[in-house]
């Protein structure tokens, strides 16, 4: 994989770029990999790619492998180990249970090795929590304090109407979708039953996520564009991680049909993926939001970072019979509004949630 680093800190980012690409791609395709296990007609891709994913997990976590990845040097590995952990809990029947004991132990060792990394006081707390939750799901010893701290901190940082601060302050960006809502739900899915207080959080966390997903659906313009605000815009349509997650969970609000979310997300993805310059001559993603826009990159952005766009693919884990796939194409909210169609009024989420 080439490592494009527009900000010039190539040697630093090269240490992290491969785990970034691997962990982020896996977290996006994991539900589809899991669906492959129940594919009665077993397409060629379903037969081949899960096996390749397991081989890659082996190579990435085996200390003796020439492709062993960095899980503990520097701060960045905490982020992408967490995305890889999220992939494993999203696809346990494909990415965990079939692995031989040696590979499982290497993965456990790699995840535990991230504990030397101190997370920042923002969404990074959820990366530590996600890793510990995954260890819990694996039946291994895990640190419940890291989970509890992340959950309580984010509850304290909640600003209202489905929006969390990224730390104590509100940031107008897409981190509520890139990280915060999806990982809060996944942490509570995986570890929530172990503590009464965490069980009590589930309803609020889910209601807030559903509201934010509704806001995301409304944010997709009639032409498939959305506002380029905040940092990490080079994650492209990864900005809709949460909307894709809520669609996968089949928790969309009653006023939002699955078919309209499919239609909206498809247009967003086509508009961004088909923009000239998105891929290099070998098919690797290049830095940018809509095409090749290297000056949009922050200092932590490299080729590997860009693969968080795959998080918008989560609905590929739904069966063909799901409404998301079998409903006809439909207009989404902003397209209806700008065409003059009548719509129900939008309302903020209750302050009690």
pLDDT at res. 158: 98
Residues of the chain with pLDDT under 70: 40, 42
For the chain, how many residues are written? 353
pLDDT at res. 42: 66
Residue 131 placed within a domain: yes
Q: Are the beta carbons of 260 and 252 closer than 8 angstroms?
A: no
**DSSP-assigned states of every residue in 280-330:** -TTS-B-S-SSS--GGG--TT--TGGGGGGGGGGGGGGS-TTSHHHHSPP-
Residue 89 placed within a domain: yes
Nearest to 243, CA basis, from 272, 214, 207, 270: 214
**DSSP-assigned states of every residue in 187-244:** HHHHHGGG-HHHHHHHHHHHHHHHHHHHHHHHHS-TTS-----SS-GGGGGGGGHHHH
Residue 4 placed within a domain: no
Over residues 281-295, the pLDDT tens digits come to 999 999 999 999 999
DSSP H/E element including 160: strand 158-160
Residue 247 placed within a domain: yes
List Cα–Cα distances, 84 to 80, 145, 232, 272, in angstroms: 6, 21, 19, 24
The overall pTM is greater than 0.75: yes
The domain tally of the chain equals 1
Q: Which domain holds residue 175?
A: 10-338
Residue 1 placed within a domain: no
pLDDT at res. 182: 98
Nearest to 207, CA basis, from 351, 43, 346, 321: 351
Residue 351 placed within a domain: no
Residue 353 placed within a domain: no
Give the DSSP letter of residue 164.
E
- The radius of gyration of the chain's CA atoms, rounded to the nearest angstrom, is 20
Residue 2 placed within a domain: no
Over residues 157-209, the pLDDT tens digits come to 999 999 999 999 999 999 999 999 999 999 999 999 999 999 999 999 999 99
Nearest to 146, CA basis, from 78, 75, 72: 78
Q: What is the CATH number of the domain that holds 211?
A: 1.50.10
């Amino acid at each position: 994989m080439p490592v494009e680093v527009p900000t010039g800190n190539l040697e630093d980012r090269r240490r992290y770029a491969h785990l970034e690409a691997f962990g982020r791609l896996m977290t996006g395709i994991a539900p589809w990999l899991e669906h492959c296990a129940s594919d009665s007609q077993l397409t060629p891709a379903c037969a081949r790619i899960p096996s390749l994913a397991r081989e890659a997990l082996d190579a990435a976590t085996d200390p003796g492998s020439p492709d062993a990845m960095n899980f503990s040097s520097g701060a960045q590995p905490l982020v992408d180990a967490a995305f890889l952990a999220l992939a494993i809990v999203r696809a346990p029947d494909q990415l965990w249970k079939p692995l031989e004991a040696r590979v499982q132990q290497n993965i456990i060792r790699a995840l535990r090795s991230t504990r030397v990394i101190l997370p920042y006081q923002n969404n990074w707390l959820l990366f530590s929590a996600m890793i510990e939750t995954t260890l819990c799901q694996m039946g291994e010893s895990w640190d419940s304090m890291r989970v509890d701290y992340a959950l309580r901190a984010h509850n304290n940082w909640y600003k209202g109407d489905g929006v969390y601060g990224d730390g104590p302050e509100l940031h107008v960006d897409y981190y509520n979708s890139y990280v915060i809502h999806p990982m809060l739900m996944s942490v509570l899915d995986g570890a929530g039953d172990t503590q009464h207080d965490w069980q009590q959080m589930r309803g609020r966390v889910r209601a807030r996520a559903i509201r934010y997903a509704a806001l995301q659906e409304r944010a997709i313009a009639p032409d498939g564009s959305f506002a380029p605000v905040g940092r990490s815009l080079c994650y492209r349509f990864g900005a809709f991680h949460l909307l894709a997650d809520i669609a996968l969970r089949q928790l969309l609000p009653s006023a939002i049909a699955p078919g309209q979310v499919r239609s909206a997300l498809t247009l967003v993805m086509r508009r961004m993926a088909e923009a000239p310059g998105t891929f290099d001559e070998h098919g690797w993603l290049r830095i940018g939001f809509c095409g090749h826009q290297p000056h949009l990159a922050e200092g932590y952005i490299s080729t590997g970072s860009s693969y968080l766009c795959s998080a918008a693919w989560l609905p590929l884990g739904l069966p063909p019979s799901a409404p998301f796939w079998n409903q006809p194409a439909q207009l989404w909210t902003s397209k209806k509004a700008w065409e003059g169609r009548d719509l129900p009024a939008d309302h903020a989420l209750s302050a009690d949630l």
